[in-house]
Amino acid sequence: MKRALLSGWHTCGSDASYNPVYQDVCVPRPAGRTPVLRHLLQGQAGYISPVKKQEFPFLISLMESIRVDPVHPLGRSQGTLNRYKNIDTYLLANTRSQYFLMSVSIVIVLILSLSIALFLAFRLFHAAQPYALIFNQNGEYRKIDLKIADTPKKRAYGLMHQKDLSENAGMLFVFSKPGKHTFWMKDTLIPLDMIILSPELQIVDIKTNLTPQSKEIIISHEISAYVIEVNGGYCDRNRIAIGDPVSLHLTRTLQ
């Protein structure tokens, strides 16, 4: 196979071309006179090529960075470069495509992350909601969602100024020491029932339908560690009585 030196370029015979990647190897020339740059991108040098690949590092690095099928360059039988006037336009189009795909991927990841975070927050909120189960004499139970009053300030404020209360909601008063604790209805706008619990979580007293905004002192004559306030008449409607056991489900250690 004959080679000739022409102005710093190698040429091969009419049926072969020089490959700059392998430098000294002549490979069969593609059919037709295809532009040099497109065959460089295909992994061949066309019908002329540099003597030494070090002299054209950009083209060599471009060839090595873009991997294409020599038969179907860039996934198309006619070659993607045919659609572009020059290599700058080709690279710009590919860069935009990469940025678009990257942006879509980031958006998808953000949406998935947000969905997972909302799901976990929803589960955590419901798992963190304290509640009590009261078992009546008929073997039935009632669930009461609770707000916790476990500091002197919270116990003093209680349900004051609250205009309404859900049927199955209430407030749990937690005392640091068991004793005979006192209450009143000052600034309380709705009638309440008070369910008074022993340290062993058994109902020892019930005060029903307490009058809103009354300043009368309410005292239990039984030792108690907890009190649950609910809507007035709740105990009668649900057949809750003294002696019923109660189960408390709280999310943290009571103070």
Q: How many CB atoms lie within 10 A of CB 211?
A: 12
Q: Are residues 148 and 245 in the same domain?
A: yes
The structural domain count of the chain equals 3
Q: Are residues 70 and 98 in the same domain?
A: no
Q: Are residues 242 and 157 in the same domain?
A: yes
Distance, CA of 116 to CA of 101 (rounded, Å): 23
Q: Are residues 123 and 142 in the same domain?
A: no
User: Strand 224-231 to strand 169-179: parallel, antiparallel, or no bridges (unpaired)?
Assistant: antiparallel
Q: Are residues 175 and 159 in the same domain?
A: yes
Q: Are residues 119 and 143 in the same domain?
A: no
Q: Are residues 157 and 202 in the same domain?
A: yes
Q: Are residues 154 and 180 in the same domain?
A: yes
Give the per-residue SS3 of 84-143: CCCHHHHHHHHHHHHHHHHHHHHHHHHHHHHHHHHHHHHHHHHHHCCEEEEECCCCCEEE
Q: Are residues 88 and 74 in the same domain?
A: no
- The answer to whether position 254 is within a domain reads no
Encode the chain (255 residues) as per-residue pLDDT tens digits. 444 433 334 444 444 444 444 444 444 444 444 444 444 444 444 433 444 445 555 555 555 555 444 444 444 444 444 444 455 555 566 676 777 788 888 889 889 888 888 887 776 665 568 999 999 988 899 999 999 999 999 999 999 999 999 999 999 999 999 999 999 999 999 999 999 999 999 999 999 999 999 999 998 889 999 999 999 999 999 999 999 999 999 875 444
- The answer to whether position 255 is within a domain reads no
Q: Are residues 172 and 199 in the same domain?
A: yes
Q: Which residues contact 221 (CB under 8 A, 6 or more apart)?
A: 180, 205
Distance, CA of 182 to CA of 120 (rounded, Å): 41
| Neighbouring C-alpha atoms within 13 Å toward the C-beta of 104 | 5
Q: Are residues 108 and 93 in the same domain?
A: yes
pTM of the model: 0.53
- Of 19, 49, 83, which closes a domain? 83
- The answer to whether position 195 is within a domain reads yes
Please say whether the dihedral angle defined by the alpha carbons of residues 241, 245, 248 and 253, taken in this order, is positive or negative: positive
The encoded tokens of residue 138 equal 């008929």
